[in-house]
């Protein structure tokens, strides 16, 4: 599918860019879930990465490559702090999920009022001349560039997370998810494990955010770190299959076309709100009838066919 | 002394569950903690293993003070406990469960898997190594709990009623395993209700009653101690 | 100066009572079913549209319409619970979350389709009026809303304490297994609970329709405010929801006055984080063992 990219026209490239953006974000979100940590504020990590990358590049004049690393580091630090606070003060379960919302909204409101980054008015990247632009230097390019970039980071994140899950840390995260107290009784350092998994997840999300900010060209606190994007980011992996490595990617291939398709349909019919209703209804259908998500169901179906 | 428990006290909102309990466990000893239900045995374990913080008193292992350490820090120092109500990680396989223990000493996944497999062999669960822990029967879950603790290669193993609910052939197997472990240099502190097991296995018995230490001594002496018989088993009972 | 503070404080407390009603709905659902209703704000907005509709049709003051909104939302909550949510009670948190998000999306979509994105203000004579008690001026609409909210809260408390059904709801909240054993029909209790929870949201919606201009996207704000309150007060704690509501109403009003209106939510979130750190189970929640 990815190899067919160059052959597709720019509409499909843009759509698939979005698909891979959500696949990537879903992978990072799902990584935290491996340790049982439900993040309802992933927009925070996305947004911090996006803002830091954009500001260090545009205002600070740094290379976008370095800026994106700084953005990832800032997100990772924020993630570590939240994980540490949650773990240290034993904020677990629903409370932890709500803690992530609280921090994300706190940051969102602060960015709304922070003039240095444009507050609610937004932060804008200067347009660049496409003729003299060298995308590998500026990390900004045409639809094809962003499409390939998101395919690459998605593949990178997939293999990285697969390796992590097969390591000692991966086992520990799953152990904590299953039964934190039992895991600790066996010597699993719960706090360190959680801080690590959130730091990696947040750092990766920061990379995705940095690139997404370049794709958008403009950043608004509400749209890039608000509750809405935090929710959008986790629907794909849940629909695709929480706990399966490939689920978030499959979920993004389902959710993004659904989102875009219902938008187009709503606009064509001139029926405001129709898109949201269709989107909500389809998600309800999937979560009600495919409790484990789409990908595990496909796996089981194929396995049953073979035997 | 390997384990030193000094004046251990735990009060829950004014209700004292454990009061001024002191005892020692020597290297390679098997010590049984007995007492009627609600005597504070499991609370004692929770205090020693760091799951609960004592209100006062201290616990030390080979001279190192463990009081106030987190459960995982205590486990990594070689003091590992099992849970009375077994807590298998139901979504993981038996092997993965046991590997969780092995990771206490080993960071390499393949080595951890081979250590875990040895522990599984020893416990006799090898046929079910790839089964989900959630699919095991209760006796197998108990075995898994033990295997997981053994895989951490502890110096001191705390076993909380591992034999409860098992058939006598199964508990005999566990007695055998515990003796093997001691032969390999491990020290064991166990809570047990099955008197037959306590009598045959323990070098020393500590009796708790209403959260306090009532008696301590060799199994035979404890069995004939009138104070123990009266408070623990009721006035007319005798130890089997 | 003092008069200004007194007015702001009393205004904050009055709106806080309505917030408390919203939060009560969320916390009662959580207390009984261990489910977080992420579509709670949407239920409030439904109540707002009901309030608006009945006001424009019959010109009745909205506080009289709160019981109507409560009845309609009760029916919705009851039906949703029996039809769908009961099947999700034992599902993992994230599945429940997506379920309620899908509700929220569909409701917001429906609102957009029916009423559009623009706000629908209720303009009435009382909007400008206030009662003067000594040095304090109390906004008429806020006072009516707070009074009605308080009546509903008291009614609910009496129901929970003295009716058989109310007692079984509390039994279910206290001890699920025990309640099943003594033969309470749990699924029906759940449905009634969901109905009550959403009725609280709906009634509060009708009450605030003349204070906040009705608009589909207000839903998220109300959901978040309700979360803040129930966590500050303690998830599942009724007392916590009441006092938390007043506390948040008050702190928002004071923060708006003393710091900046734009930062009033920051203040609430900061309060929330502080409470989570010092008392993870809230000010009135069950403390850790």
Tens of pLDDT, residue by residue over C90-123, are 899 899 999 999 999 999 999 999 998 888 888 7
CB pairs under 8 A between A and B: 77
Contact B91 A188 (CB under 8 A): no
Binding partners of A (≥3 Cβ pairs within 8 A): B, C
Query: Testing the interface with A: which of B79, B103, B109, B152 to mutate, by most A Cβ within 10 A?
Result: B103
B41 at interface of A, judged by CB pairs closer than 8 A: no
Residues 242-261 of A with CB under 8 A from C: 242
Contact B101 A187 (CB under 8 A): yes
Nearest CB partner across the interface for B87, out of A167, A174, A179: A179
Q: What is the pLDDT of residue C178?
A: 57
pTM: 0.91
Q: What is the pLDDT of residue A236?
A: 95
C83 at interface of A, judged by CB pairs closer than 8 A: no
C110 at interface of A, judged by CB pairs closer than 8 A: yes
Gap between the Cα atoms of B161 and B155, Å rounded: 19
* Residue A299 burial class via C-beta count within 10 angstroms: exposed 0-12, middle 13-18, buried 19 and up: middle
Contact C92 A242 (CB under 8 A): yes
CA distance A182 to chain B (A): 6
% of chain A exceeding 70 in pLDDT: 98
Nearest CB partner across the interface for B100, out of A167, A186, A190: A186
Nearest CB partner across the interface for C99, out of A103, A278, A287: A287
Instruction: Say whether pLDDT at A193 is over 90.
Output: yes
Contacts of A89 in chain B (CB under 8 A): none
Residues 6+ apart with CB under 8 A from A253: A19, A23
% of chain C exceeding 70 in pLDDT: 94
Q: Is B22 left (phi over 0), alpha (psi -120 to 50) or beta?
A: beta
Query: Testing the interface with C: which of A273, A283, A286, A291 to mutate, by most C Cβ within 10 A?
Result: A273
Among chain B residues, CA nearest to A164: B109
Contact C106 A112 (CB under 8 A): no
CA distance C80 to chain A (A): 12
Contact B103 A171 (CB under 8 A): yes
Among chain C residues, CA nearest to A82: C273
CA distances from A173 to A30, A35, A75, A190 (A): 12, 4, 20, 8
Q: What is the pLDDT of residue B240?
A: 44
Element (H, E) at A188: none
C260 at interface of A, judged by CB pairs closer than 8 A: yes
Query: Testing the interface with A: which of C39, C97, C108, C216 to mutate, by most A Cβ within 10 A?
Result: C97
C56 at interface of A, judged by CB pairs closer than 8 A: no
A33 at interface of C, judged by CB pairs closer than 8 A: yes
Q: What is the pLDDT of residue A131?
A: 79
A285 at interface of B, judged by CB pairs closer than 8 A: no
Q: What is the pLDDT of residue B234?
A: 60
Binding partners of C (≥3 Cβ pairs within 8 A): A
Return the C-alpha torsion angle C41, C45, C46, C52, nearest 10. Answer: 160
Gap between the Cα atoms of C77 and C86, Å rounded: 11
CA distance A300 to chain B (A): 17
CB-CB contact of C253 with C11 (8 Å): yes
Contact A181 B96 (CB under 8 A): no
Query: Testing the interface with C: which of A276, A278, A281, A282 to mutate, by most C Cβ within 10 A?
Result: A276
CB-CB contact of A215 with A17 (8 Å): yes
CA distance A24 to chain C (A): 19
pLDDT bracket for residue A176 (50, 70, 90): very high
What mean pLDDT is predicted for residues C196-221? 93
Contact B87 A171 (CB under 8 A): no
Nearest CB partner across the interface for B104, out of A167, A187, A191: A187
> What do you get for the CA distance between the two ends of chain B, in Å?
31
A6-20, A281-295, C196-210: the lowest-pLDDT one: A6-20
CA distances from C203 to A266, B196, C166, C206 (A): 32, 66, 19, 5
Gap between the Cα atoms of B240 and B220, Å rounded: 11
Contact A184 B75 (CB under 8 A): yes
Backbone angles phi, psi at B213, to 5 degrees: -80, 125
What mean pLDDT is predicted for residues A45-66? 94
Which two tokens mark C46? 């439904």
Sign of the CA dihedral A72, A77, A83, A86?
A: negative
Which two tokens mark A57? 């590049």
Among chain A residues, CA nearest to B50: A185
Contacts of C95 in chain A (CB under 8 A): 238, 287, 291
Q: What is the pLDDT of residue C183?
A: 57
Nearest CB partner across the interface for C94, out of A242, A275, A279: A242
Q: What is the pLDDT of residue A6?
A: 55
Q: What is the pLDDT of residue C194?
A: 96
Which two tokens mark C241? 């929801």
Q: What is the pLDDT of residue A139?
A: 82
Gap between the Cα atoms of C164 and B167, Å rounded: 46
Q: What is the pLDDT of residue A3?
A: 53
Which two tokens mark A260? 């875009």
Q: What is the pLDDT of residue C262?
A: 75
Nearest CB partner across the interface for C105, out of A33, A109, A279: A279
Triad C217, A22, A103: Cα angle to 5°: 55
Residues 151-190 of A with CB under 8 A from C: none
Q: Tens digits of per-residue pLDDT, C148-184?
A: 999 999 999 999 989 988 888 887 776 655 556 555 6
CA distances from A41 to A105, A227, B207 (A): 8, 7, 52
Q: Three-state SS for B59?
A: strand
Contact C273 A99 (CB under 8 A): yes
Contact C112 A276 (CB under 8 A): yes
Comparing A39 with B1, which gets the higher pLDDT? A39
Contacts of B100 in chain A (CB under 8 A): 171-172, 175, 183, 186, 188
What mean pLDDT is predicted for residues A279-290? 94
Contacts of A167 in chain B (CB under 8 A): 109
What mean pLDDT is predicted for residues C23-51? 93
Per-position pLDDT tens, chain B of length 240: 799 999 999 998 878 899 999 999 999 999 999 988 888 899 999 999 999 999 999 999 999 999 989 999 999 999 999 999 999 999 999 999 999 999 999 999 999 999 999 999 999 999 999 999 999 999 999 999 999 999 999 999 999 998 888 888 888 889 999 999 999 999 999 998 888 888 889 999 999 998 899 889 998 888 788 877 777 666 444 444
């Amino acid at each position: 599918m990815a190899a067919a990219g160059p052959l597709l026209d720019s509409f499909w490239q843009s759509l698939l860019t979005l698909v891979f953006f959500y696949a990537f974000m879903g992978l990072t979100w799902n990584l935290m879930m491996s340790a049982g940590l439900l993040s309802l504020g992933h927009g925070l990590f996305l947004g911090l990465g996006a803002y830091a990358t954009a500001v260090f590049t545009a205002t600070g004049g740094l290379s976008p490559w370095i800026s994106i690393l700084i953005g990832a580091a800032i997100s990772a630090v924020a993630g570590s702090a939240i994980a540490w606070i949650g773990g240290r003060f034993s904020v677990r379960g629903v409370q932890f999920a709500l803690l992530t919302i609280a921090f994300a909204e706190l940051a969102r409101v602060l960015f709304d009022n922070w003039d240095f980054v444009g507050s609610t008015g937004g932060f804008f990247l200067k347009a660049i001349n496409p003729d003299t632009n060298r995308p590998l230097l500026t990390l900004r390019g045409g639809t094809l560039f962003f499409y390939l970039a998101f395919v690459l980071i998605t593949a990178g994140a997939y293999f990285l997370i697969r390796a992590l899950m097969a390591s000692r840390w991966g086992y520990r995260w799953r152990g904590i998810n299953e039964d934190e107290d039992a895991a600790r009784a066996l010597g699993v350092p719960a706090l360190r494990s959680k801080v690590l998994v959130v730091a990696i997840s947040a750092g990766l999300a920061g990379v995705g955010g940095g690139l997404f900010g370049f794709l958008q060209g403009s950043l608004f606190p509400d749209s890039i770190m608000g509750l809405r994007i935090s929710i959008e980011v986790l629907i794909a992996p849940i629909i695709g299959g929480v706990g399966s490595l490939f689920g978030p990617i499959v979920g993004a291939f389902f959710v993004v076309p659904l989102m875009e398709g219902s938008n187009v349909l709503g606009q064509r019919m001139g029926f405001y709100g129709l898109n949201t209703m269709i989107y909500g209804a389809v998600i309800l259908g999937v979560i009600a009838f495919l409790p484990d998500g789409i990908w595990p169901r496909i796996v089981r179906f194929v396995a049953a066919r073979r035997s | 002394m390997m384990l030193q428990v000094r004046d251990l006290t735990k009060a829950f909102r004014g209700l004292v569950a454990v009061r001024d309990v002191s005892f020692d466990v020597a290297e390679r000893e098997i010590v049984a903690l007995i007492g009627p239900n609600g005597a504070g045995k499991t609370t004692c374990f929770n205090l020693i293993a760091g799951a609960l913080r004592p209100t006062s008193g201290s616990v030390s292992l080979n001279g190192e003070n463990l009081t106030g350490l987190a459960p995982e820090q205590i486990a990594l120092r070689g003091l590992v406990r099992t849970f009375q109500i077994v807590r298998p990680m139901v979504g993981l396989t038996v092997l993965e469960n046991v590997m969780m223990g092995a990771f206490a000493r080993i960071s390499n996944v393949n080595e951890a898997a081979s250590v875990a497999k040895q522990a599984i062999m020893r416990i006799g669960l090898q046929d079910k190594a790839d089964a989900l822990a959630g699919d095991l029967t209760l006796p197998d879950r108990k075995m898994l709990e033990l295997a997981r603790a053994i895989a951490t290669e502890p110096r001191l193993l705390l076993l909380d009623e591992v034999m409860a609910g098992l058939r006598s052939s199964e508990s005999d197997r566990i007695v055998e395993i515990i003796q093997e472990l001691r032969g390999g240099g491990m020290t064991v502190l166990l809570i047990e209700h099955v008197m037959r097991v306590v009598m045959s296995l323990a070098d020393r018995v500590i009796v708790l009653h209403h959260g306090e230490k009532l008696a301590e001594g060799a199994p035979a002496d404890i069995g004939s101690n009138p104070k123990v018989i009266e408070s623990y088993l009721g006035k007319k009972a005798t130890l089997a | 100066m003092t008069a200004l503070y007194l007015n702001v404080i009393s205004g904050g407390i009055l709106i806080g009572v309505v917030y408390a009603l919203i939060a009560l709905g969320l916390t009662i659902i959580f207390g009984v079913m261990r489910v977080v209703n992420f579509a709670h704000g949407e239920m409030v907005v439904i109540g707002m549209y009901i309030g608006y509709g009945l006001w424009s049709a019959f010109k009745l003051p909205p506080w009289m319409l709160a019981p109507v909104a409560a009845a309609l939302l009760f029916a919705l909550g009851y039906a949703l619970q029996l039809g769908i949510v009961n099947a999700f009670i034992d599902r993992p948190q994230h599945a429940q979350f997506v379920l309620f998000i899908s509700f929220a999306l569909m409701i917001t979509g429906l609102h957009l389709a029916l009423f559009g994105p623009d706000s629908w203000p209720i303009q009435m004579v009382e909007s400008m009026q206030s009662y003067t008690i000594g040095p304090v001026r109390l906004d008429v609409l806020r006072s009516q809303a707070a009074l009605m909210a308080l009546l509903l809260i008291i009614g609910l408390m009496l129901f929970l304490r003295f009716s058989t059904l109310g007692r079984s709801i509390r039994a279910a909240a206290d001890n699920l297994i025990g309640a099943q054993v003594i033969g309470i029909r749990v699924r029906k209790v759940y449905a009634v609970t969901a109905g009550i929870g959403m009725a609280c949201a709906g009634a509060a919606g009708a009450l605030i329709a003349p204070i906040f201009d009705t608009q589909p996207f207000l839903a998220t704000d109300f959901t978040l405010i309700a979360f803040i309150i129930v966590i500050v007060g303690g998830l599942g704690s009724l007392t916590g929801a009441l006092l938390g509501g007043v506390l948040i109403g008050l702190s928002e009003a004071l923060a708006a006055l003393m710091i900046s209106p734009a930062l009033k939510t920051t203040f609430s979130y900061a309060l929330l984080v502080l409470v989570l750190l010092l008392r993870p189970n809230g000010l009135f929640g069950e403390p850790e063992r």
